[in-house]
Amino acid sequence: MGKIDLTVGIGGAAGQGIATPGDVLARIFVRRGLHLKAYNAYQSIIRGGHIFLMLRTGDQPVLSQGGKIDILIPLNQDTMDRHLKLMRSGSIVLYNSDKIGPGTAADGVQLCPFSVKELLPQMKGDLVQNTIAVAALLRLVGVEFKMLEDILTVQFKRKGESVIAENVGVARAGYDYAEAHFKPLPFSLPNTGKRLAFFEGNQALAMGGAAAGVRFYCAYPMSPASGVLHWMARHARQLGIMVRQVEDEIGVINMAIGAAHAGCRAMCATSGGGFALMSEALGSAAMMEIPVVCINVQRAGPATGVPTKTEQGDLWQVMGAGQGDYPRIIVAPTNIPDCFKTVPELFNLVDKFQCPGIILSDLLLSEGRSSVDPAELDFNVSIERGEVIGLRGDAPPVNGGYKRYLVTESGISPRAVPGTPGYVHVVATDEHDEEGVLISDEFTNPHKRRAIHEKRMRKMEGVLPLLEPPELFGPGEAQVTLVGWGSTEGAIREAIEKLAEEEGIVANHLQVKWLVPLQGEAILSILSRSKKIVIVENNYSGQFARYLRSETGIAANGHIRKYDGEPFLPHHIVDGVKKIVAGETEKYVPVHEIMV
């Protein structure tokens, strides 16, 4: 048997229960040890609108949602009309013929109609078609019915035995009907014997916070960051985390800073619009040298923008958040498991350097789902709190001479949390001297201002050596080097495979995770050997391209940009590289369409 690569598309309108069949299929895939990537393209309206969920599974790690559909389940006529024309020979369309007409399909597309009225005349409601279609799908890919029965039992356990029995009966009808009337795919989904887990990026961020020792989390619900709040609230009592839903993002960030000042690890999350309200407070955290972590899950902007669509448009926003110069650490996880890993890494850094840390995620990562080997989720991570006096067993200072902002060579001053015996200090957002006394109280002393400002900024010099350096992926010698940041990693790496196999173009790849401070020398060392540099990013203006040029002097030879709200698919990058290599353009902006 060759490589297994199967993509299922489920489409309909909000309110048609698309999430449930998606969850059922995802659970079955990972229970069979198959890798998974899922992406849901949905609208911001509560009911109606077109929603399209793509689940891609395979026996090898799945890098992106891909660009093809092997099995389509349209739950309404709109989905059929949108996607049937994109189906290729060998693909399958499963649909309820009571309400949906097929239209004209390409040669080799197998149309698989079923009638709910004929199969289950006693059943009422539109959601029955979902269960029938999922059961039929599993029969066509050779998955035994017992596994579906087990998953449905888990899925509807809370609703009681009668609901479980009803759904199992519906599934059996669909499964048997498919066996009798439809031609299966020429392969069966294997069972590798190794069960995987699957989770979404927001859950990974929340779980990473729990592993990092977060004891206070607060947020105002804002798509697409709300999933972090949902997970935290659901597990707060079990994990001993105080969780608060606050009235607005100004309250959120100030509450998180207050909790961090009191000595616990504190985290919050929002999207670009909410982050805009947090800007001044982030600067105050830096002025007071309080470590706090804020997650910005990017969506398409500006303003309210496109609330349920993805983008990488907030890079310049987070780099410029708050007036003046101040130390901050900004990181963009590259995949969903990396979301989990990154949170403890960042907390150790902000604790050590006593400054705010910002995680730049986006909708693609945070609301996407990915399989993961549970063994990779290490909850026993190293926790390093830095120069915290109460943790070191320090004796009280003589005559109360504690200097909270002591000028040191590293820029890091020993920190005493409130309540530490003998260590009293003043904390304020105005500039201050070593003891926390406001310098404006003594005629804005320029020498003290310079010394304390340089002390704060000097901390950043110590961050770079602690960051894992970026590495070149792929062959050392290549015609093109693709550069990306954050969530574009998977699509770029799959595009590299396609470029080599289908176009004969050798490409390699550099993905940048740590954005501030930027590992400029390491990046320059790698890219200075590149023949042609192409930067891939999900925004209009090339924000990372401009940042890279300002920090390193590197000007890319080409750009592939996307800003329509949907993420990159591998063929978008392949098409762009082909045009850039051929000299047809220096900037390629793909048109989004599922390729089959």
CATH of the domain at 224: 3.40.50.970
Check whether residue 371 and residue 244 sit in a common domain.
Answer: yes
* pLDDT (mean) for 287-292: 98
pLDDT (tens digit per residue) in 511-526: 999 999 999 999 999 9
Flag whether 188 is in a domain: no
Name the pTM for this structure. Answer: 0.95
Nearest one of 366, 360, 415, 384 to 547, comparing CA atoms = 360
Flag whether 497 is in a domain: yes
Least confident of 244-253, 374-383, 409-418, 434-443: 434-443
Three-state secondary-structure class, residue 187: coil
Flag whether 191 is in a domain: no
Can you tell me which residue has the tokens 């616990």?
264
For the domain that residue 567 is a member of, what is the CATH number? 3.40.50.920
Q: What is the pLDDT of residue 55?
A: 97
Measured between alpha carbons, how far is 385 from 263 in angstroms, rounded to an integer? Answer: 10
As given in the structure block, the two tokens for residue 520 are: 């400029």
The percent of residues in the chain predicted with pLDDT above 90, rounded, is 88
Q: What is the pLDDT of residue 595?
A: 43
pLDDT (tens digit per residue) in 354-408: 999 999 999 999 999 999 999 999 999 999 999 999 766 677 776 668 999 999 9
Of the residues 124, 155, 181, the one at which a domain ends: 181
Flag whether 189 is in a domain: no
Check whether residue 540 and residue 402 sit in a common domain.
Answer: no
Contact, 587 vs 537, CB < 8 A? no
Check whether residue 124 and residue 85 sit in a common domain.
Answer: yes
Check whether residue 394 and residue 259 sit in a common domain.
Answer: no
Give me the sign of the Cα torsion angle 530, 536, 541, 545: negative
Check whether residue 485 and residue 423 sit in a common domain.
Answer: no
CA 77 vs CA 83, 85, 97, 98, 101: distances in Å: 10, 13, 10, 11, 7
User: What torsion do the CA atoms of 13, 18, 19, 22 make, to the nearest 10 degrees?
Assistant: -140
pLDDT (tens digit per residue) in 434-446: 999 999 876 778 9
As given in the structure block, the two tokens for residue 198 are: 């699957």
Measured between alpha carbons, how far is 323 from 7 in angstroms, rounded to an integer? Answer: 47
- SS3 per-residue string spanning 74-94: ECCHHHHHHHHHHCCCCCEEE
pLDDT (tens digit per residue) in 4-44: 999 999 999 988 889 989 999 999 999 999 999 999 999 88
Q: What is the pLDDT of residue 592?
A: 84
As given in the structure block, the two tokens for residue 19 are: 């999430």
Measured between alpha carbons, how far is 577 from 583 in angstroms, rounded to an integer? Answer: 10
CA 137 vs CA 6, 80, 87, 141: distances in Å: 12, 17, 16, 7
Flag whether 123 is in a domain: yes
pLDDT (tens digit per residue) in 526-542: 999 999 999 999 999 99
Check whether residue 456 and residue 362 sit in a common domain.
Answer: no
Measured between alpha carbons, how far is 347 from 357 in angstroms, rounded to an integer? Answer: 8
Burial class (CB in 10 A: 0-12, 13-18, 19+), 133: buried
Check whether residue 349 and residue 420 sit in a common domain.
Answer: no
pLDDT (tens digit per residue) in 107-158: 999 999 999 999 998 877 677 999 999 999 999 999 999 999 999 998 888 8
For the domain that residue 167 is a member of, what is the CATH number? 3.40.920.10
Please give the single-letter amino acid code of residue 210: A
Check whether residue 295 and residue 147 sit in a common domain.
Answer: no
Of the residues 462, 497, 521, the one at which a domain ends: 462
Q: What is the pLDDT of residue 1?
A: 47
The percent of residues in the chain predicted with pLDDT above 70, rounded, is 97
Check whether residue 160 and residue 227 sit in a common domain.
Answer: no
Q: What is the DSSP letter of 408?
A: -
* pLDDT (mean) for 448-457: 96
Check whether residue 279 and residue 338 sit in a common domain.
Answer: yes
Check whether residue 24 and residue 99 sit in a common domain.
Answer: yes
Burial class (CB in 10 A: 0-12, 13-18, 19+), 564: middle
Measured between alpha carbons, how far is 366 from 368 in angstroms, rounded to an integer? Answer: 6
Flag whether 450 is in a domain: yes
* Boundaries of domain holding 314: 199-376
Residue 221 confidence (pLDDT) above 50: yes
Contact, 56 vs 5, CB < 8 A? yes
Residue 555 confidence (pLDDT) above 80: yes
Nearest one of 268, 259, 267, 270 to 212, comparing CA atoms = 267
Check whether residue 476 and residue 449 sit in a common domain.
Answer: no
pLDDT (tens digit per residue) in 79-105: 999 999 999 999 999 999 999 999 899
* pLDDT (mean) for 250-271: 98
Flag whether 517 is in a domain: yes
As given in the structure block, the two tokens for residue 530 are: 């590149």
Average pLDDT over the chain, rounded to whole?
A: 94
| Count of structural domains, the chain | 4
Measured between alpha carbons, how far is 103 from 83 in angstroms, rounded to an integer? Answer: 11
Q: What is the pLDDT of residue 156?
A: 87
Flag whether 512 is in a domain: yes
Nearest one of 67, 72, 77 to 37, comparing CA atoms = 67
Residue 207 confidence (pLDDT) above 90: yes
Of the residues 376, 402, 432, the one at which a domain ends: 376
**In angstroms, how far is CA 277 from the centroid of its own chain?**
22
Residue 596 confidence (pLDDT) above 50: no
Strand ranges of the sheet holding 514-516, from the earlier edge strand across to the other edge: 242-245, 214-219, 265-270, 292-298, 356-362, 329-331, 514-516
